[in-house]
Structure 1
Amino acid sequence: MDHKPMRNTYLPYGRQWIDNDDIEAVVNVLKSDYLTTGPAVSKFEQEIANYVGAKYAVSFSNGTAALHGACFAAGISIGDEVITTPITFAASANCVLYLGGKPIFVDIDPKTYNINPKEIEKQITNKTKAIIPVDFTGQPVDLEEIYAIAKKYGLVVIEDAAHALGAKYKGKKVGSISDMTMFSFHPVKHITSGEGGMITTNNKEYYEKMLQFRSHGITRDPNKMIENHGPWYYEMQFLGFNYRLTDIQAALGTSQLKKIDQFIELRKKYAEMYNAAFATIPQITIPYQHAEAESSWHLYIIRLNQDLLKAKRKEIVEHLLSMNIGVNVHYIPVYLLPYYQQLGFQKGLCPQAEALYEEIITLPLFPKMSELDVSDVIQAVKKIVSYYSI
């Protein structure tokens, strides 16, 4: 097959969109009295809380740190078990290990690719402390069914919504429903602060624990201190971490948030273009859209459903990359990673997740793409599928 690039420039699977307003917001902070954690951080937290409809929001240096803080607030400790999905980035499970807990991987729904609620209850033991469902690609999990299980067994739900800022479940925005919800502001996400994460919650106790956790376990609140030596005094009351966001990052995030609706509309538009182009190609399965969930389309994933194509997935990816189409694969099931294999997890644990991994390709999807970019991707995919289907 011809390896000639289809495009003169490389099209990544994701990319940030920074404009002059974003740059001005950051410059204003650079000229101010605060560079680290100051008023811009508080403003960003309030804006995110208002946007999703939550009472509280706590920012962190990144999404992984945010999950760590949420697990701490939930009281996860040595020996506790936490149920999650293998189709996610490693952080969704690593955050449990950080506190001495054990992630329990539950297989996915073969239609939505999200954790299968029907499989969750089978894995609950007297050690189970929480569930970390992941809104994979931006499509919310079935929160109603998951919450019914959580309520029955007294479990905390920490929703990993790194992909799902702006998504809705039964008309309510993700971030206002779960006990705690994590958002990521990495550059490929819906909005960016460079690096950054946020937990939203309606629980004041969780909120206060996370504030202290992200700052070394230190408090300056006289009402919480054991002693008080004077206005300079502070107490480190437990072993926390330095997980704070900076005002520089928060200013960028706040500026980006003003454009979130525009960004999501463009993502939806391009996803619809892909759907229209690929829906009639029998060798490809397009993403399933749950009737009660409104995706914010972080990722667009096609699934190869012909044996010949599945066998040639690596070559297909390589050919697309050679054409300057920046495809990727999300994700390797977490428990197949070498570190998790060393912990005793074995292949075959989640058959649906493993089958999915072997058959999917992530196509470029981000707001700063043009319709011509989308057309280039469609043309390249059709060409390759046609070639390998012969």
Structure 2
Amino acid sequence: MPSSTTSPSCGSRRMRRTRRALPGRRTSSSRGPSEMALRYRLADGTIDRHDVELLIEWLKTDPWLTMGPLTEEFEGRWTRWLGVPHAAFVNSGSSANLLMYYAALCSGRLRNLRVVVPAVSWATTVAPALQLGFEPIMCEADRDTFGLDPAHLEALCKAHDPAAVILVHVLGVPVDLEPIMRLKERYGFLLMEDCCAATGSRYDGRLVGTFGDMSAFSFYFGHHLSTIEGGMVCTGDEALHDILLQIRSHGWPKNLSPEKEALQARKHGVLEFNRRFTFYYPGFNVRSTDLNARIGLSQLARADRVVARRIDNHAAYLSRFAGARGFTCQRNPRATICSISFVALAASLEHRDRIGQALDAHGIETRPLGGGNMSRQPFWVERYGAQPFPVADEIHERSFMLPNHPGLGVDDIDRIADVVLAVPPEP
């Protein structure tokens, strides 16, 4: 299979990084028997000693700990790194998805409540549609990217005229954005990008998260960047950003500019003494803290290096699996892929089981792809019944994930690939 990345040659970086144990991080000598055997984890912590030292020095200054000036600084630096005008830091990528849906609802721009959701995704990509009273319509997965199938999306647009679409760049592999953007222009839907596993990935040289009306990122443990828990909602639309800032924090206007806050107060006839405690939306509290933002700032300072390592590792996997009998890999020739994990499809469910056994025997962690086919998850089946999505079913039954994180180098990828490729498709 041809490589699906435009990154430099996968042999261009063969350096290995030695991790320094952090306070509280268990070293190999302190792990239990099952952990001793785990040689390669799917995800590894990205918060290192330097991050901790910077955090300690900051804490010694007796700073403001809840959401405050460092949150604004982190948001500003993130927008410059990504190339979007506005961002709102929240407590998780799942909360970022929730706020995208809710901001769309509060904006008054939706002509109906129909939203297209991806068959292959994560629970909290789809769940807000149910929680907020939308009418979700599921879209089949694309055979190459595992994201939205553009042909099926067009059929759904013709049949249902959805007001909104949410897409996922599955495990960091960008969807085929050109046809989707054409459909957005033709049918006028609001587009939300779930980039929670795709920080640093590009489509035609442009970072994902800059295509939709809003985008969501995750800074969970083991993701491209980590704030322990955290997420970011991004947009180029100032009005949507104003809504996001308010619904993030109870529905009040404290994070708006003084001019915008005063305008809202006058519009609604709010008493001067009550202005700071007036709620314009039935909001949430999904704020993060300046402590998490302090970690995010030090993480962002080395984001380019982390992204480059993940890109190289992904390219190395693709090189090893190219032409291998019995395996199918995600691909997008127009993308630079900064994956959170590498995923492949085995020849069959039985083949995947044997691959899993081989990986376990060699201390290599694996699992199925995300939530697999969301239409097979109980929360969906109980509401909408079983639905036929053949490609998503194949991914559900045959997918397995392999480690990709900055603690690995190309030599590690070679060793992991050797174990997988030694398992024949036939028993």
1:211-250 CA-to-partner distances (Å, cap 9, x unmatched) read 0001010124222123133387320122100010111111
| Cα distance in structure 2, aligned partners of 1:33 and 1:230 | 28
| Cα distance in structure 2, aligned partners of 1:191 and 1:78 | 36
2:375 to 335, 346, 366: 335
Structure 1 residue 142 corresponds to structure 2 residue 184? no
C-alpha contact (below 8 Å) 2:103/2:243 kept by paired residues? yes
| Cα distance in structure 2, aligned partners of 1:266 and 1:255 | 18
**How far did residue 304 of structure 1 move?**
1.5
Structure 1 residue 111 corresponds to structure 2 residue 144? yes
Q: Which residue type is aligned with residue 339 of structure 1?
A: F
Percent identity of equivalent pairs: 26
1:85 counterpart residue number: 118
2:337 to 281, 285, 295: 295
| Cα distance in structure 2, aligned partners of 1:233 and 1:50 | 30
Paired residue secondary structure (1:210):
helix
1:283-335 CA-to-partner distances (Å, cap 9, x unmatched) read 222332x2322211222112213x5xx32423431342232110111132112
| Cα distance in structure 2, aligned partners of 1:191 and 1:371 | 20
1:222 counterpart residue number: 262
**How far did residue 87 of structure 1 move?**
0.8
| Cα distance in structure 2, aligned partners of 1:200 and 1:187 | 20
Structure 1 residue 61 corresponds to structure 2 residue 100? no
Q: Which residue type is aligned with residue 264 of structure 2?
A: K
C-alpha contact (below 8 Å) 1:169/1:292 kept by paired residues? yes
Structure 1 residues 127 and 375: CA distance shift in structure 2, 3 A: closer
Structure 1 residue 194 corresponds to structure 2 residue 244? no
**How far did residue 120 of structure 1 move?**
0.7
1:18 counterpart residue number: 47
| Cα distance in structure 1, aligned partners of 2:391 and 2:299 | 36
Structure 1 residues 323 and 66: CA distance shift in structure 2, 3 A: same
| Cα distance in structure 2, aligned partners of 1:242 and 1:269 | 38
Q: Which residue type is aligned with residue 206 of structure 1?
A: L
Structure 1 residue 285 corresponds to structure 2 residue 318? no
Q: Which residue type is aligned with residue 22 of structure 1?
A: D
| Cα distance in structure 2, aligned partners of 1:107 and 1:148 | 18
| Cα distance in structure 2, aligned partners of 1:327 and 1:251 | 32
Structure 2: where are the runs of 5+ without partners? Answer: 1-33, 255-260
**Within-5 A mapping of 1:41-190:** 41-75=71-105, 80-124=113-157, 125=159, 128-190=162-224
Structure 1: where are the runs of 5+ without partners? Answer: none
**How far did residue 81 of structure 1 move?**
1.5
Q: Name the stretch that deviates more: 28-37 or 188-197.
A: 28-37
C-alpha contact (below 8 Å) 1:53/1:175 kept by paired residues? no
**How far did residue 126 of structure 1 move?**
5.3
Q: Name the stretch that deviates more: 127-136 or 26-35.
A: 26-35
**How far did residue 199 of structure 1 move?**
1.1
**Within-5 A mapping of 1:202-221:** 202-220=236-254, 221=261
Structure 1 residue 236 corresponds to structure 2 residue 279? yes
| Cα distance in structure 1, aligned partners of 2:316 and 2:200 | 20
Structure 1 residues 312 and 293: CA distance shift in structure 2, 3 A: closer
**How far did residue 78 of structure 1 move?**
12
Structure 1 residues 214 and 295: CA distance shift in structure 2, 3 A: same
2:28 counterpart residue number: none
Q: Which residue type is aligned with residue 382 of structure 2?
A: Q
2:13 counterpart residue number: none
TM-score by length of 1: 0.90
Q: RMSD over aligned Cα, in angstroms?
A: 2.3
Structure 1 residues 119 and 30: CA distance shift in structure 2, 3 A: same
Q: Name the stretch that deviates more: 253-262 or 317-326.
A: 317-326
| Cα distance in structure 2, aligned partners of 1:374 and 1:171 | 25
How many residues of Structure 1 are paired with residues of Structure 2 in the alignment? 379
Q: Which residue type is aligned with residue 78 of structure 2?
A: I
